[in-house]
């Protein structure tokens, strides 16, 4: 209600100068936030100073409380259901890079399967450097069955959806 005035009282507040958090001449930040739909409360899960990782893009939830997001062609995950009061910077809020094996330039098109077992990504680091869709275990790439498997022959192709049974992908292609 933009016509209502309210007063708030704060206690035990610490204000830390920005320079103490991010040394150097960083001017831009990317903030990954969650919003409670009912209360509309916003919570910063992670604040990414730039340079460093570029911006956080296209977050997707996993059932174990992680948000998966891409930045600078890589995929990261971060625990999103941290206890109240956990700062958006520091060890608890540090993104962990997901091992995608030979895939080194993904774009915003990445999804977690409804059964929470697979990850599908659009990547443009292989072959003709145009986007193709790949599938791999949610746990990341590795040897044998964990290696990324290309599922589209024609490029460019861009991932956009997963069927409820985790067996079919929807995508756009030229």
pLDDT in tens, 63-73: 888 999 998 89
What pLDDT is stored for residue 87 in this prediction? Answer: 67
CA distance 166 to 111: 11
What's the per-residue H, E or C state across the chain?
Answer: CCCCCCCCCCCCCCCCCHHHHCCCCCCEEEEEEEECCCCCCEEEEEEEEECCCCCCEEEEECCCCEEEEEECCEEEEEECCCCCCCCCCCHHHCCEECCCCCCCCEEEEEEECCCCCEEEEEECCCCCCCCEEEEEECCCCCCHHHCCEECCCCCCEEEEEECCCCCCEEEEEC
What pLDDT is stored for residue 113 in this prediction? Answer: 95
pTM score: 0.78
pLDDT at 118 over 70: yes
Mean pLDDT of the chain: 85
pLDDT in tens, 70-113: 988 999 999 887 666 666 666 667 889 999 999 999 988 999 99
What pLDDT is stored for residue 137 in this prediction? Answer: 94
What pLDDT is stored for residue 120 in this prediction? Answer: 96
> Residues 39-65: what's their mean pLDDT?
81
What pLDDT is stored for residue 114 in this prediction? Answer: 94
């Amino acid at each position: 209600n933009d016509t209502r005035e309210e007063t708030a009282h704060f206690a035990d507040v610490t204000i830390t100068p920005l320079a103490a958090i991010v040394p150097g001449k960083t001017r831009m930040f990317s903030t990954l936030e969650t919003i409670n739909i009912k209360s509309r409360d916003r919570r910063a899960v992670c604040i990414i100073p730039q340079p460093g990782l570029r911006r956080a893009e296209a977050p997707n939830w996993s059932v174990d409380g992680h948000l998966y997001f891409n930045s600078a062609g890589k995929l990261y995950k971060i625990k999103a259901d941290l206890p109240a009061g956990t700062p958006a910077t520091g060890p608890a809020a540090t993104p962990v890079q997901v091992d995608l094996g030979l895939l080194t330039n993904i774009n915003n098109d990445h999804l977690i399967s409804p059964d929470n077992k697979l990850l599908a990504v659009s990547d443009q680091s292989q072959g003709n450097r145009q986007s193709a869709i790949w599938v791999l275990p949610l746990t990341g790439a590795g040897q044998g069955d964990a290696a990324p498997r290309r599922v589209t022959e024609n490029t460019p192709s861009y991932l956009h959806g997963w069927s409820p049974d985790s067996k079919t992908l929807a995508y756009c292609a030229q």
